[in-house]
Amino acid sequence: MAACSQSPQSAVPPDTTIGDGSVPSSDEDSSASAGTDDPAEVGDRAGVGDEASVGDATAAPVTTETSPSTAADGSVGEVASPGSSGEGDAADGDAAAVAPGEGSAPDATSGEGATLEAGSDEDGNGEAATPEYVTPESEFGEEVAPAPYLEFDPFVTGPFAPLTGSITTDLSLATRRPLAVKIGNGDPVDQPQAGLAAADIVYEVLVEAAKTRFVAVFHSQIPTRIGPVRSARSSDFDILRDLATPYFASSGANNTVLREMRQAAREEALIDVGAMRMAAPYSRDPSRRSPHNLYFSYEQFAGDGESLPGGLLDSPPRALFGYASPDSPSPRDAVGVTVAYRSLHGTEVSHVWDNIGGGWVRIQRGALHTTETEFGVAEIAPANVVVVQMPYGRSAADRRSPQALSYGSGDALVLTAGAVHEARWERTQDRIGFRFTDKEGNPISLSAGATWLLLANSDGRWPIAEVTVLTAAEGARLLADARAAAP
């Protein structure tokens, strides 16, 4: 299977080495990574690192220098450095693993025991039991469509890209395995990320210190350069169960989260293609500081397509949402939404409708959120945004780390086609995907195109996401100010 490169996501900063299997080193990334891929992150055993506890707005950040440290089992870890996101990659007492360019060479031949990047478990994900996924079957043993709601508009003929609802001419999608990549977002140095505009689906997930990270899913198009790649969390594995055993790229995980990842792989929820599993797809960008400089090259990963891990798919992933059906008018005069975590290092993001571009422009901390493309840096503006208000539990890997409880139901806001809909969400283990309905129980469909799901915390044990609907005047002012301040 050849790499799909039609996406405008291949812009590479000067002096960047991609796909040659080598990993540029620097003073910062030559030391072993302590768990999160951040020099600032203390590793999965450290809990929050830059805060005494998650959501504690009074805690002082760690300001120690980055240097190698040795874990109890002799593996090399990384001490927190200024700007640490405190993702606690070493708090569970497990040995810290390392990512390419951070003091250890990947073991491409190792099996399940391969060690991933140290302290990647910023949410402290541990060995919590993973729900078993059950595919609905008919009395003849054949798979049953999840529900009429998940079908495409019957008046439009395909073929369709299943994860966007868009008509496609690329027949290779039927055998292309989705690629899910864990991408950093907790530090301004992570921006602009590479490849986000090409993702079919992006899940924004709460981690330690009220920061967020992305699980970006690529299928209909896969950019040349994706990153910065960061460490895995316990929240990731339930999320990935909606996909057709996707490749999962991360910079590593702490030992507890690594065990969860192995369990998910045994249950065919994912195929681990992390940085400590294979070296070839990963390289470091010397123009950025470690650990915010690890990037994934799909072309180096896929090669000629004959030796891909797991082989080609027997069937493509299935649609996770309903597309193209008309929705009832929005009940309010609204053009966007803001989701904010009010804590010391908390994230605040807004999505505002841009009628000319036909997307929901993303604004983070008051500035335009941008991504690298082969044409330069561009605004992020997906066709759909859904704020899914859900509780986060306490991760088994680190008591200071949140874990999204993504099965269940609750309130949501669905932003599509310029309208903001008050909704309810539901996700169950016996069906694929989220389902969204209005207050009367009518299905809410999405527009064809990319979808971002903001998994907003509603549980008081962590900073609660403040969700605010923006009026037309508020949204226009916010977007105008962000664009005026853009370089």
Task: Evaluate if residue 110 carries a pLDDT over 50.
Answer: no
Task: Evaluate if residue 460 carries a pLDDT over 90.
Answer: yes
Peptide bond into 159 cis (omega under 30): yes
Helix (H, G, I), strand (E, B) or coil at 469: strand
Residue 29: its pLDDT value, please?
37
d(CA 449, CA 294): 28
How is 445-466 classified by DSSP, letter by letter?
-B-SS-EEEEEEE--TTSPPPE
Residue 305: its pLDDT value, please?
66
**Residue 85 falls inside a structural domain:** no
Number of C-beta neighbours around residue 140 at 10 A:
6
Residue 409: its pLDDT value, please?
98
Beta carbons of 257 and 270 less than 8 angstroms apart: no
CA-based end-to-end distance of the chain = 39
- Report the share of the chain in percent with pLDDT over 70: 66
Retrieve residue 10's tokens. 């291949």
What's the pTM? Answer: 0.74
**Residue 422 falls inside a structural domain:** yes
**Residue 73 falls inside a structural domain:** no
In which band, very low, low, confident or very high, does the pLDDT at 277 lie, cut at 50, 70 and 90? very high
- Domain range enclosing 330: 161-310+325-487
Residue 398: its pLDDT value, please?
85
445: Cβ–Cβ under 8 A, 6 or more apart, which residues?
321, 322, 323, 324, 325, 326, 327, 416
Beta carbons of 456 and 387 less than 8 angstroms apart: yes
Mean pLDDT for 429-445 is 93
Retrieve residue 183's tokens. 């991408």
Domains identified in the chain, total number:
1
The tens digit of pLDDT for each residue in 62-101 reads 333 333 333 333 333 333 333 333 343 433 333 334 444 4
Task: Evaluate if residue 171 carries a pLDDT over 60.
Answer: yes
**Residue 237 falls inside a structural domain:** yes
**Residue 403 falls inside a structural domain:** yes
Residue 153: its pLDDT value, please?
53
Mean pLDDT for 177-201 is 95
Beta carbons of 88 and 52 less than 8 angstroms apart: no
d(CA 376, CA 243): 30
Residue 105: its pLDDT value, please?
38
The tens digit of pLDDT for each residue in 339-352 reads 999 888 889 999 99
**Residue 329 falls inside a structural domain:** yes
**Residue 69 falls inside a structural domain:** no
Residue 175 or residue 285, greater confidence: 285
**Residue 94 falls inside a structural domain:** no
d(CA 199, CA 226): 10
Task: Evaluate if residue 303 carries a pLDDT over 60.
Answer: yes
CATH number of the domain where residue 360 is located: 3.50.90.10
Residue 212 or residue 76, greater confidence: 212
Mean pLDDT for 33-45 is 37
Residue 157: its pLDDT value, please?
59
In which band, very low, low, confident or very high, does the pLDDT at 257 lie, cut at 50, 70 and 90? very high
